[in-house]
């Protein structure tokens, strides 16, 4: 009996030793491979599956999409992946040379979760490439013998060069694999094309997410800034052009009381609680996570350090201004001034904006007055930066600062020929009409988010509306904005009936900016 136990024990030890040795060997080879291949890049093509395929493609800012159907066990697919990635890096991700043109994705048909999806698109071989508008992928399927289908197979894309040549033929473009970021001839000029603004909604989402990331990264939430942040979030929930951002901000506000209690700064555990609040907030996505972010479309500069976030933030503020009601104008003015003063980390810009806010001597009673004030402020900023950039040669050569809108965009906005930027006889009624149309209906005309919200308590405004009426959204903080706005009052009332009895009083005195 003892000998039998001995042999069993010896056999077990041998198996364990072999397993450890095998694991060590694999790990060593893996480490060596990483050392020998330091330039490994993360995938640019977006992996989709049956659960997110429709929503991601429906929300895509790109004009076209390519879907690669493959199987991870297929040797030809593994060999093709580097070729596909070369092209994907031109169009996808934060380092994309040509963002917003083609969204390149892949679906692994060897995964059971994707069986129905691959059947839906009649996948008969690997790899198989399909091309078409993103919305067409999200709204149906594909059959090989279908006529007049906007989705078509790519029959000549076996190498990166051949795939890119196929794309160029479809688009009438001349993209190259060695194109460099921001230094190419294909940059779309949007200064005189009113149709370009429709794609700015994706940059507004990017700017909103970037602002939220900056707030968390710089630990800017404190007893002083807590209420201004809540007020700005309430503004976004009611009037942000993007449904994704409205829903994402509402999710943050629902949980804000628990993450950042109002008495957190009076506790002995303040530092720990603040740290935990920051960590917890990082798990939230203020504009959702359906569409990969990392590049600018409308706000993309011709140089890496121009436009981008600052442009996106201005477009966000203008789009908010044209969506409010008359009774909200003064409250929104104060909320935006508070937000810039507390959370915009460019010190000189922040102080300059503060001075312009402080110079306002009477409250805004009409949406028109606030819209025109923000427009005038933006032009004053441009005038100041024009001089600085001209002397320091730091401006964007393809997108120089100018007084806006130019004659090409709004011929009726000025009454007489423009002699110089400081002597323009503006027709402010026409300017107001233009701003409402440009940042309201035109900006949203092609942005239709048809996803249904899972939380049926959240009832958000229609994206095609220029302004927002009464909205019902559960919020995690409320009373301040409600003092000056019936729309925000509806938000506050709903929250007070659903959440704990916490109240935050904020009368919005400008002196507290």
Active-site residues, by number, are: 74, 77
Task: Give which of 373, 442, 367, 386 is closest to 410, Cα–Cα.
Answer: 442
CA distances from 50 to 53, 93, 109, 168 (A): 6, 22, 10, 29
For tokens 């690669």, the residue is: 68
Distance CA 218, CA 6 (A): 62
CA distances from 24 to 15, 19, 116 (A): 14, 8, 39
Helix (H, G, I), strand (E, B) or coil at 210: helix
Distance CA 337, CA 406 (A): 26
CB count within 10 Å of CB 251 equals 19
Secondary element (H or E) of residue 194: none
Task: Give which of 215, 235, 217 is closest to 226, Cα–Cα.
Answer: 215
List CB contacts of 356: < 8 A, sequence separation 6 or more.
377, 380
Q: Where are the alpha helices (DSSP H) in 344-392?
A: 347-358, 367-392
Distance CA 124, CA 133 (A): 22
Task: Give which of 97, 108, 175, 102 is closest to 133, Cα–Cα.
Answer: 102
Please say whether the dihedral angle defined by the alpha carbons of residues 239, 240, 246 and 248, taken in this order, is positive or negative: negative
Task: Give which of 316, 315, 312 is closest to 249, Cα–Cα.
Answer: 316
- Is the backbone of residue 184 left (phi > 0), alpha (psi -120 to 50) or beta? beta
Strand order in the sheet with 46-48: 46-48, 102-108, 64-70, 128-132, 152-153
CA distances from 94 to 68, 91, 247, 345 (A): 21, 9, 24, 22
DSSP assignment string, 428-489: HHHHHHHHHIIIIIIHHTT----PPPS-TT-B---TT-SS----B---S--HHHHTT-HHHH
């Amino acid at each position: 009996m003892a000998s039998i136990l001995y042999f069993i024990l010896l056999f077990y030890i041998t198996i364990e030793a072999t397993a450890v040795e095998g694991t060590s060997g694999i790990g060593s080879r893996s480490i060596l491979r990483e050392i020998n291949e330091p330039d490994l890049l993360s995938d640019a093509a977006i992996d989709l599956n049956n659960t997110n395929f429709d929503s991601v493609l429906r929300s895509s800012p790109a004009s076209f999409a390519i879907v690669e159907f493959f199987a991870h066990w297929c040797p030809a697919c593994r060999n093709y992946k580097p070729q596909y990635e070369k092209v994907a890096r031109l169009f996808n991700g934060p380092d994309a040379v040509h963002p917003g043109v083609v969204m390149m994705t892949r679906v692994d048909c060897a995964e059971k979760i994707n069986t129905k999806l691959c059947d839906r698109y009649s996948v008969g071989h690997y790899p198989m490439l399909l091309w078409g508008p993103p919305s067409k992928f999200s709204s149906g399927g594909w059959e090989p013998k279908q006529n007049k289908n906007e989705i078509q197979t790519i029959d000549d894309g076996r190498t990166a060069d051949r795939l890119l040549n196929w794309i160029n033929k479809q688009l009438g473009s001349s993209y190259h694999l060695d194109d460099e970021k921001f230094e190419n001839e294909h940059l779309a000029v949007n200064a005189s094309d009113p149709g370009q603004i429709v794609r700015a909604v994706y940059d507004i989402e990017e700017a909103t997410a970037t602002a939220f990331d900056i707030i968390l990264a710089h630990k800017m939430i404190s007893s002083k800034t807590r209420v201004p942040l809540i007020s700005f979030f309430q503004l976004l929930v009611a009037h942000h052009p993007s449904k994704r951002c409205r829903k994402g901000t509402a999710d943050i506000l629902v949980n804000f009381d628990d993450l950042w209690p109002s008495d957190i700064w009076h506790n002995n555990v303040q530092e720990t609680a603040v740290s935990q609040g920051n960590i917890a907030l990082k798990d939230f996505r203020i504009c959702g996570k359906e569409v990969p972010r990392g590049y600018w479309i409308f706000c993309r500069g011709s140089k890496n350090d121009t436009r981008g976030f600052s442009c996106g933030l201005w477009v966000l503020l203008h789009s908010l201004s044209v969506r409010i009601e008359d009774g909200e104008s003064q409250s929104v003015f104060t909320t935006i001034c508070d937000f810039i003063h507390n959370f915009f980390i460019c010190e000189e810009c922040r102080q300059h904006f503060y001075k312009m806010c402080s110079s306002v001597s009477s409250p805004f009673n009409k949406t028109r007055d606030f819209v025109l004030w923000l427009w005038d402020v933006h032009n004053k900023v441009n005038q100041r930066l024009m001089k600085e950039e001209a002397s320091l040669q730091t401006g964007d050569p393809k997108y120089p600062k100018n007084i806006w809108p130019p004659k090409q965009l709004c011929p009726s906005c000025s009454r007489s020929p423009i002699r110089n930027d400081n002597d323009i006889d503006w027709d402010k009624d026409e300017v107001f009409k233009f701003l409402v149309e440009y940042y309201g209906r035109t900006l949203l005309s092609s942005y239709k988010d048809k996803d249904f919200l899972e939380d049926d308590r959240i009832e958000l405004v229609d994206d095609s509306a220029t302004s927002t009426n009464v909205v019902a959204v559960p919020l995690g903080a409320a009373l301040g904005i409600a003092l000056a706005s019936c729309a925000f009052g509806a938000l506050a009332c709903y929250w007070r009936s659903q959440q704990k009895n916490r109240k935050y009083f904020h009368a919005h005195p400008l002196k507290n900016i």
